[in-house]
A and B are shown apart, each in its own frame.
Chain A
């Protein structure tokens, strides 16, 4: 599939006199975890190529080369409360990568866009979490960072100025993991409303705990609404999920000793509000509930942490808050703060940040983070962190 895509798209790209652009990014981090201090970082070069042979065809691709430095070998247990001093080891490396991230062709017909190839798909209206996003894992410390692509065929049918119908089929090596998603979007008065349905293979927490390869099936019925009430920006996103567990005798037997939850259905929802004050202070606040998360601190198992760290669930526990404040304080300098709170284990992180557009196309940002909560909580296990990031676009 990958070779075929390259064979078809590469000659088209060259023939269509492409534009090259992208960025170089360098990041340095320091993190204090208990008595251990780690320093690490990466240098990243992203090269985007875009070609438009005519008004109806867009070919896009990008290559991302990332080289890590400092600490590149990590022990997962260092991040799991109660296990950080256990002496147990489950190590993973951050290998240097040269990745052909996206490579797609988009054909535009009068009322239809057809996109084929590895492409970025980012559904949902939430800023920090997206209950209807089954493709990406967001970093809470930087939710607006770009996501990697997924292999998909996507058809967008325009049904008027503010209405559209979206169909996505996404596949990988495992046919059982095929995602089939439909989305209907429309404008109702000052609100944008969307409804979506998806069916896909999903590795549940139980399957993850037993390293079971067979995927359970998940059906998602969700939607979103975004608009305003009394001058406040307001949005909501929800997903109702049904899980169809694999009917396998061995797995079935193992389920009796699995300590975690095995719900047949669960819901996720998010409510967000934002406002810009007269003094240009931008404020954003979100509340997120994940019915698949663990409700109480003393019910969190090792497998739940591993499962969340693997990006299979939107969150470890059930109830979270996110606050973001941003003010353009000086010429090309903005000060911001984000705060994340886990309401279930009463832990969280606050991270002030300075962004400076030092030169045209060159940004410098510094973020400092402090965590609160006891050592046996999701965020409390970390003490503080420092991140310096430089990015120059070309």
Chain B
């Protein structure tokens, strides 16, 4: 009887251990495929408000250092043409540029949670890098079908000291290639405040790439769709590309 109990305990512990290992492995692989060394893309961003009004922006975007640095510049509409923002250190440092005044403003960390151009994406959401690995503890929740694919389901619990962008995230990543297809973001009270759906995933130069991302804000009942029109990972940033100087070009 005692032997059986010990055996069950060992099985339980080793299963939990292997599940934790699996969760870490999933998040490591997701981070790897979501963080190519460099990227250059052109896309559109369509914001749909709770009342159904829509605004569409066009932008060009560049990332470097596996998402550690990024530069996004709006090209349309005319009212925001040339407005740009630069993020360094995984969006811990943000600068914005306003072409009308020719001024660059450095934003404090509270601004990371601000909406980019009134969209449902925050500056922090736009930052990449290894945020999931550094600021969260992953927990394996099983397998589940999501966005028409069999997925790993992983819970990411924020590490308080690391100041995670959200206290808790649940992520679904395809079993076939570890491409994330859906993320639920929760606030401190456990409310599912936002969801990100990654759709039309295509293989671009060896990286599974979501050509369409829809962020839905469940509290404000608005959504923002980001569509990728052109993308390449073979782009090499010139020296000092991610700089205030280039932000103003």
Asked if A pairs with B, the answer is yes
A296 at the interface (CB under 8 A from B): no
Q: Which of B23-31, B96-104, B133-141, B224-232 contacts A (4 or more CB under 8 A)?
A: B96-104
Centre residue among B77, B114, B240 by max chain A CB count within 10 A: B240
With the chains together, A162 CA to B222 CA distance in Å?
36
B110 touching A21, Cβ below 8 Å: no
With the chains together, A145 CA to B88 CA distance in Å?
28
B113 touching A276, Cβ below 8 Å: yes
Give the distance to chain B from A44, nearest Cβ to Cβ, in Å: 13
B110 touching A161, Cβ below 8 Å: no
B55 touching A58, Cβ below 8 Å: no
With the chains together, A384 CA to B242 CA distance in Å?
46
A158 at the interface (CB under 8 A from B): yes
A394 touching B49, Cβ below 8 Å: no
Question: Chain A: how many interface residues by the 8 Å CB criterion?
Answer: 49
A122 at the interface (CB under 8 A from B): yes
Q: When the two chains form the complex, which single residue of A280, A328, A393 contacts B79, counting CB atoms closer than 8 Å? A: A393
B175 at the interface (CB under 8 A from A): no
With the chains together, A332 CA to B79 CA distance in Å?
14
Q: Mark B119-139, 1 if CB is under 8 A from A, else 0.
A: 000000000000000000000
B78 touching A21, Cβ below 8 Å: yes
Contacts of A110 in B (CB 8 A): 238-239
Q: Mark A286-308, 1 if CB is under 8 A from B, else 0.
A: 00000000000000000000000
Contacts of A394 in B (CB 8 A): 78
Q: Mark A128-160, 1 if CB is under 8 A from B, else 0.
A: 000000000000000011110000000010101
Q: When the two chains form the complex, which single residue of A22, A156, A161, A235 contacts B242, counting CB atoms closer than 8 Å? A: A161
B53 at the interface (CB under 8 A from A): yes
18 contacts between A and B (CB under 8 A): A22-B78, A110-B238, A111-B239, A120-B102, A122-B101, A122-B102, A161-B240, A164-B244, A190-B92, A227-B108, A231-B108, A231-B109, A232-B108, A276-B113, A282-B114, A328-B115, A332-B53, A360-B56
Residue ranges of B at the interface with A (Cβ–Cβ < 8 Å): 49-51, 53, 55-56, 77-79, 81, 88, 92-93, 98, 100-103, 105-111, 113-115, 118, 222, 238-240, 242-245, 249
State the 5 A-B residue pairs at the shortest beta-carbon distance, nearest first: A233-B108, A228-B108, A393-B78, A331-B49, A393-B79
Given contacts A23-B79, A145-B101, A164-B245, 15 further A-B contacts (CB under 8 A): A122-B102, A144-B101, A147-B102, A161-B240, A228-B109, A228-B110, A232-B108, A233-B108, A235-B106, A278-B113, A328-B115, A328-B118, A331-B50, A332-B55, A393-B79
